[in-house]
Amino acid sequence: MSTPAISFRAIAHDFRSTDGSVVRALHHIDMEIRHGEFAVVVGPSGCGKSTLLRLIAGLIAPTAGSVRVFDHPVTGPRDDIGIVFQKPTLLPWLDVLSNITFPIRHRGQLVTAADTERALDLLDLVGLADFRKKFPDELSGGMQQRVGIARALLSEPDILLMDEPFSALDALTRDEMSFELLRLWSARRGTALFITHSITEAVLLADRIFVMSPRPGRIRETLAVDLPRPRTPETLRAPRFQELAAHIRNQLLGTHELH
């Protein structure tokens, strides 16, 4: 079997609060995410989903255990990992195109003609070709999040990490964005890790779903989603979709903030 894209071995993570008390966020996490897999982590608020993602991104180091990306220990942020956060965090004084190419300038490099061309292609892919000269406050929340996704994809990352990227959007825009994301992902088939509270979103997007238990977070169940791709609005109505969603809902019953 080939080495996984991401692996967690016996991971625990503690946070120390300002009053000195220790919060155990993650407890004994063992999981592997395969190359080219669309993995989704679902779980109740505060179970440590964002902590998992920050460990992979190299933004924090685990208290115990090891996190490996492409079979190398994570020692800090890597250029081959793109991240999309809950809020698009665009720079308000830069237009859309400059926001997308900003990470290149931030690394101290010059934006080449090829970079600009790729950025324009991505804008086209996310349906914002006509908005490249607009500023973030001239865009809707969904459009801003599309810019955030295009920015994360510009460096053609091997791994795309997404932390509840659609949670601030209304339900319709959210579904639309999910299909758009699947379209982008299937064009390149990189490895994706997507975090959500939404069971519907999890089943719609995932190859495999990691269901977490409340804090301290553990992996309660790993579920293969055997729904055919491409997923479409029809998928949402398929009996198997409903069955999988009901199963996860039951797993999480008694926890809160799920829909």
Ligand X SMILES: Nc1ncnc2c1ncn2[C@@H]1O[C@H](COP(=O)(O)OP(=O)(O)OP(=O)(O)O)[C@@H](O)[C@H]1O
Least spacing, CB of residue 54 vs ligand X, in Å: 7
Pairing of strands 38-42, 81-84: unpaired
Task: Please select the residue that binds ligand X; options are 45, 66, 75, 140, rule is CB under 6 A.
Answer: 45
Over the range 48-79, which residues count as b (16 or more CB within 10 Å of their CB) and which as e? bbbbbbbbbbbeeebeebebbbbeeebeeebe
Given the rule CB under 6 A, which of 44-52, 104-112, 118-126, 235-243 is the region that contacts ligand X? 44-52
- Residue 55 Cβ vs ligand X, minimum distance, rounded to whole Å: 10
# residues near ligand X by CB under 6 A: 14
Q: Looking at residue 4, what DSSP letter applies?
A: P
Write the single-letter amino acid at 8: F
Give the binding range for ligand X (CB under 6 A) out of 43-51, 70-78, 139-147, 237-245. Answer: 43-51
- Interface residue with ligand X among 50, 116, 173, 235 (CB under 6 A) is 50
Q: What are phi and psi of 66, to 5 degrees?
A: -135, 140
Q: How many CA atoms lie within 13 A of 105 on its CB side?
A: 10
Q: How far is the CB of 211 from ligand X (least distance, A)?
A: 12
Residue 67 pairs in a beta bridge with 8
Shortest Å, Cβ 78 to ligand X: 20
187 binds ligand X (CB under 6 A): no
Find how far residue 3's CA is from the centre of its chain. Answer: 21
Can you tell me which of 15, 85, 102, 179 binds ligand X, judged by CB under 6 A? 15
Least separation in angstroms between CB 65 and ligand X: 16
- With binding defined as CB under 6 A, does residue 17 bind ligand X? yes
Does the footprint of ligand X cover residue 151 (CB under 6 A)? Answer: no
Can residue 46 be called a binding residue for ligand X (CB under 6 A)?
yes
The single-letter DSSP state of residue 87 is S
Distance CA 177, CA 144 (A): 12
Binder to ligand X among 6, 11, 29, 47 (CB under 6 A)? 47
Q: Is 61 helix (H, G, I), strand (E, B) or coil?
A: coil
**What is the closest distance, in whole angstroms, from the C-beta atom of residue 85 to ligand X in the complex?**
11
Q: Is 22 in the site for ligand X (CB under 6 A)?
A: no
List phi, psi (to 5°) of 176.
Answer: -60, -45
Compute how many other C-beta atoms are within 10 angstroms of the C-beta atom of residue 233.
Answer: 10
Binding site for ligand X (CB under 6 A): 15, 17, 23, 25, 43, 45-51, 197, 215
